[in-house]
Chains A and B, each alone.
Chain A
């Protein structure tokens, strides 16, 4: 047992190492020159060279990676190259904002999927079932980009309902937050529904058609009771595994797209700004931490759900 744990730990450590190196190499290979970005359009060659050496950009890649690794192990993320802000604090704040955007969307989307599947499967192939299938197909076909734009147009624009603000996402006051939430919530929930409906419906349909249901029915157990008391609890492990696997990739894509579309100052927007400004330390921290968190979550999901569900790994393509 101990050997297995040790081996597992070792594998996780190796994975983390590989992930952090990949992230480091990609950021380092970037074509943008941080020195040029800092010194602007009139910089002289000598000034550029001096700044590169101050930033340590002229040292060998391996040495810089070791430095980076050391900092990471000490929990130091350094400071932004652009405005000198401590990166750890900035990422913590942006992470909170991202969570406030995507988690409610994911939760609602999941509730919507399961709730509708439960209602629809009372009469498989009925109007609700077919309608949900169509809705999911349409949302899937349109993709998250069009869903995001459509929800904004519908709920925020003077041509639509004109009911929600376009800009000013903030966690400072609860009412403010709630005023901004509906449009992204609608789009996010629909995009989750589109992606999860086919599989969730199939899982539920299979379970509802299983032989043991006949026994329940024979004992006069109604549909609602069978669904809530027996079927969903029985499906909980499979659903949890699916959730654990589909959440991380979905989070990354949703944060990138929806933060831009709805002006939410979270991790996705921070990443885009770091890319545009060639802010290497910030970029490095963002990519490495996201990848490490992602890898850790996947390892956790794998450990919880067993090897079988590793085939569930979905891809979220918007």
Chain B
């Protein structure tokens, strides 16, 4: 009896294992039929979080921008390889003609751009200037729930009045289609950044027939861009080549190709090929870095990932300049690029001890406290711990990717920080409770602990008076900041366009909470300067003013700033591309090529 049972168990063992592993094993790639078409070339990308909506009016997230710019056209885009960033015509035939006073922009559209056939637009049709007008005005229809209307509201002549008059059928005077393919934009005041705003995903052009009412654009986009949506789910989205895409070819020289900088990416062979270069793009949404890394490592799944900071020691041979270890170069190409944005910390200026103060004496006392907090930050250590030692540190809010950037490092914390704090009248007994607002998550918590340790060490700030207010989700933290409930918080800001005005706006009085100046910073001199900056044309005068305003923020200790992270992006060697997560996010997908897999 006993033997029988054991034999049964022994027999059942492999069977059970077989059941568990039965479906495993490499699936044979389906052999192409001798006469059938070749299998599609597929580029497999990965991003952290799925976009909620694919409607250009709501394209506020990284992921949404990526998809919207692949499916739609914008009047302008950025050159693929040129750095610093340079605008290139997209849907527009050329860069705009600008009047001498800088207020009238005339833009001619290409005539070979078409919206594809779709049940919502039977037969498809050419893209016209009136579509651009409808796409921009759509931002002011509350039903489109736009996140991008602020870009033009007070810039384009008559736009605000038109919105306030209830959007009459006759559009605003500043935005007109002069002919089927000529657009005119009149500005209330000169605004040199306008073409940049027309390259943003918010400015993607939809067919005017779909501009009013709900046509499902949030999940079924319809644009004249290089790709169309094949399917979309909570873990993956697939794009396919748009068969109606205009006959555009890759011109490497025009895109800013330099052999010295771009030789490692295998792009030369692609010159002159018709866009887009792959049949399909699959984008996996993977929040968990471990899972993303595992999938990337397998070789036949996602082909692109941002390397987790934890991996950098194992991946990099050197950090300055960043260089991959030889073993990894067999598998991956890479770039270490600086983000178009900055990590910084802000104070709540309505706070009695951190804020502007009620009189001159209090203002000076509070300023000393802010300065001490700012100078207690050990930026180099912060960089080493949390950003893989690859970030760039600088003073103020003008980031390295801006033309106005002043490449000067923050000085090391001056000695005697605590003595100067005492001189301003602060003692361990009078130091206030400093509550840092942060989102839940291991990383934020680690940063808080490091920051608090620094305060304690450099300033003798009693640890029990450094607290944290944790919000479960980032959205909750964001809401609290907008309500003015956060006294002090670290935050990352991604640039909307590469211009100092974009970060200086975070301190402009009229932008106070719930606007972008959520710390409610107020300084009359700064506000006046910022208003002047808005109307100056690009040039040395404007750059000098931006730098003066930046210095004003530094002198007033208005912000703890800043640091731009560098990301190490990796992609499989078979993928021939230079990815771009910043201003060119999404535009580059049309230039990605994938070599056939080795047999």
Q: Which residues of A contact B (CB under 8 A)?
A: 31-33, 36-45, 47-48, 50-51, 54, 82-85, 94, 108, 112, 115, 119, 122, 128, 152, 155-158, 161-169, 175-182, 185-186, 189, 222-223, 260-261, 263-265, 269-270, 273, 275-279
Closest Cβ of chain A: how far from B96's Cβ, in Å? 24
Docked-complex contact A168 and B236, CB < 8 angstroms? yes
Q: Closest approach, in angstroms, between the C-beta of B50 and any C-beta of chain A?
A: 7
Contact (Cβ within 8 A) A265 B234: yes
Indicate if the CB atoms of B52 and A165 lie closer than 8 Å: no
**B24 with A222: CB separation less than 8 A:** no
A45 to B516, CA, bound (A): 12
Per-residue A-contact encoding for B290-302, CB less than 8 Å = 1, 0 else: 0100110111111
Beyond A54-B142, A83-B218, A263-B291, whether A178 also contacts B234 by CB under 8 A is no
In the complex, residue of chain B having the shortest beta-carbon distance to the beta carbon of A30: B476
The answer to whether B147 touches A40, judged by C-beta atoms less than 8 angstroms apart, is yes
Q: Judging by beta carbons under 8 Å apart, are A42 and B516 in contact? A: yes
Residues 184-234 (chain B) with a chain A CB within 8 angstroms: 214, 216, 218-219, 233-234
Given A39-B146, A182-B23, A269-B234, are A261 and B291 also a contact pair (CB < 8 Å)? yes
Task: Tell me, in angstroms, the Cα distance from A293 to B5 when the chains sit together.
Answer: 43
Which residues from 459 to 491 on chain B have a C-beta closer than 8 Å to any C-beta of chain A? 471, 473, 475-476, 478-479, 482
Contact B147 A39 (CB under 8 A): yes
Binds A, one of B53-61, B109-117, B168-176: B53-61
Determine the chain A residues whose CB is within 8 A of the CB of B529 once the complex forms: none
Query: How near does chain B come to A26, taking the closest CB pair, in angstroms?
Result: 14
**A275 touching B22 by the CB < 8 A rule?**
no
18 contacts between A and B (CB under 8 A): A31-B476, A33-B479, A39-B146, A83-B218, A83-B219, A119-B8, A156-B294, A161-B24, A164-B23, A166-B291, A167-B302, A176-B27, A178-B23, A179-B24, A180-B23, A182-B22, A261-B288, A269-B235
Give the bracket for the number of chain B residues in contact with chain A.
35 or more
**Chain A: minimal CB distance from B493 (Å):** 9
Given contacts A157-B294, A179-B23, contact A168 B301 (CB under 8 A): yes
Instruction: Tell me which residues across on chain B come within 8 A of A41, comparing CB atoms.
Output: 60, 147, 478, 516
Most A-side CB within 10 Å, residue of B143, B471, B479: B479
Specify which of A44, A165, A223 is in contact with B515 (CB 8 Å cutoff).
Answer: A44
**B284 touches A (CB below 8 Å):** yes
Q: Residue B84 at the A interface, CB < 8 A?
A: no
State whether A51 and B50 are in contact (beta carbons under 8 Å apart), knowing that A83-B218, A122-B5, A263-B235 are contacts in the complex.
no
Bound CA span A43–B219, Å: 22
Judge whether B444 is part of the interface by a CB distance below 8 angstroms. Answer: no
The 4 closest A-B pairs by CB, nearest first: A40-B147, A178-B23, A82-B52, A163-B24
Asked if A265 and B233 make an inter-chain contact with CB atoms under 8 angstroms apart, the answer reads: yes
Known: A166-B295, A182-B23. A263 touches B286 (CB 8 A): yes
Q: How far is the CA of A85 from the CA of B55 in the complex (A)?
A: 12
| B33 close to A (CB within 8 Å) | no
Q: Are A85 and B1 interface neighbours, CB within 8 A?
A: no
B20 at interface by CB-CB < 8 Å: yes
What CA separation (Å) do A270 and B58 show in the bound complex?
20
- Residues on the A chain within 8 Å of B302, using CB: 167
The answer to whether the Cβ of B514 comes within 8 Å of any Cβ in the partner chain is yes
B301 touches A167 (CB 8 A): yes
Chain A: minimal CB distance from B500 (Å): 18
Shortest A105–chain B CB gap in Å is 11
